Chain A
Amino acid sequence: MTITVAGNKKEYAEGLTVKQLIEAENVENPLYVTVTLNDDFVKSDALETTVIKDGDAVEFLYFMGGGC
């Protein structure tokens, strides 16, 4: 299947979960990454069960914060 990851078209096998994609894409510090699937935020407890489908678009957003 063809999916879009951070704006880039990529080929992956069917049945891929969001968690598997995070690992396959070597996302650094995944605990601090928010994932969107077709602009919907994927809850952290649903990463293992959310299956990506052909044509889906995924974005990885790093938490950005700090103090003073």
Chain B
Amino acid sequence: MVTLNNEDYEKILAHAISCLPEEACGLIAGAKHGEDAEIQKVYLLTNTDHSNEHFSMDPMEQLAAVKDMRQHGLVPLGNWHSHPESPSRPSEEDKRLAYDSAAHYMILSLMDRAHPVLNSFRIYGSESENEGLERKEST
């Protein structure tokens, strides 16, 4: 289970919409509680592929985000990306490029623009599991 506050959800959603028709991406950080994750900060990164079908995170921005996490005592939790035209589930390429089975992979579907869907997954090789995502009020 992953928890995400509404303010951070809105940040992700606004960034993903601003990047359309391209995929958007970023990192998530916070605290681990066993297998659960509490997202405390989201990072909005540049998709260097500038594609509606692929994303690659900007390594320079990734480095800056990792340093920021460390500075604020946050644990790297995983990443998020958008699917502009497809459902909120890991694609074959998402699975192939998921190197960290401990990471949380959030996917925001914008295929129905009026009803965005955000889910969080764990990916183990060719298998994936929707781990559940709870949105909470911002404090």
Interface residues of A (CB under 8 A from B): 7, 28-29, 32, 34, 36, 39, 41, 59, 61-68
A-contact 0/1 string along B18-32, CB 8 Å cutoff: 000001010100000
**Are the C-beta atoms of A64 and B91 separated by less than 8 Å?**
no
**Are the C-beta atoms of B97 and A66 separated by less than 8 Å?**
yes
B54 at the binding interface (Cβ < 8 Å): yes
**Are the C-beta atoms of A66 and B63 separated by less than 8 Å?**
no
State whether A29 and B99 are in contact (beta carbons under 8 Å apart), knowing that A61-B62, A68-B23, A68-B83 are contacts in the complex.
yes
**Are the C-beta atoms of B63 and A36 separated by less than 8 Å?**
yes
Interface residues on B, range: 20 to 34
**Are the C-beta atoms of A68 and B62 separated by less than 8 Å?**
no
**Are the C-beta atoms of A67 and B53 separated by less than 8 Å?**
yes
**Are the C-beta atoms of A7 and B70 separated by less than 8 Å?**
yes
A-contact 0/1 string along B39-59, CB 8 Å cutoff: 000000000010011111101
Residues of B within 8 A of A28 (CB): 99
22 contacts between A and B (CB under 8 A): A34-B59, A39-B63, A59-B66, A61-B62, A63-B57, A63-B99, A64-B25, A64-B56, A65-B55, A65-B56, A65-B57, A65-B97, A66-B54, A66-B94, A67-B54, A67-B55, A67-B91, A67-B97, A68-B54, A68-B84, A68-B86, A68-B93
